[in-house]
């Protein structure tokens, strides 16, 4: 149970980080293009190492955030957990 919840949290954090990068780069490019389209200074450089580091940080944060709840869920009795509202 604990491993399943930890893996789920890690996967969700990784997908969230990846989607955030995709949308952030796209919207950043679109905004830069709109603001600087009048001049020739509209050059965008994206460092893949920074993008990979960002996804890695989000995965580690998801892993760290899912450890404590997964421990609590593994210790709880199913009937007692369902009875609490």
Q: What is the pLDDT of residues 23-48, one digit of tens each?
A: 999 998 888 888 877 766 667 788 99
- Confidence at residue 58, expressed as pLDDT on a 0 to 100 scale: 93
Q: State the average pLDDT for the chain.
A: 84
Alpha helices, DSSP H, located in 1-85:
2-36, 48-75, 78-83
C-alpha 60/C-alpha 54 separation (Å) is 10
- Confidence at residue 52, expressed as pLDDT on a 0 to 100 scale: 92
- Confidence at residue 85, expressed as pLDDT on a 0 to 100 scale: 61
Least confident of 6-10, 20-24, 31-35: 31-35
Mean pLDDT of 41-57: 86
What pTM did the predictor assign?
0.71
CA-CA-CA-CA torsion for 60, 66, 68, 73, nearest 10 degrees?
-160
CB–CB of 25/46 below 8 Å? yes
CA-based R_g, the chain, Å: 20
- Confidence at residue 4, expressed as pLDDT on a 0 to 100 scale: 85
Orientation of helix 2-36 relative to helix 48-75, angle to 10°: 150
């Amino acid at each position: 149970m604990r491993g399943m919840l930890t893996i789920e949290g890690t996967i969700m954090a990784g997908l969230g980080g990846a989607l955030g990068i995709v949308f952030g780069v796209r919207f950043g490019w679109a905004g830069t293009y709109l603001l600087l389209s009048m001049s020739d200074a509209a050059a965008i450089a994206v460092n893949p190492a920074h993008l990979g580091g960002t996804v890695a940080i989000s995965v580690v944060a998801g892993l760290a955030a899912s450890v404590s709840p997964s421990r609590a869920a593994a210790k709880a009795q199913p009937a007692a957990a369902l009875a609490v509202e």
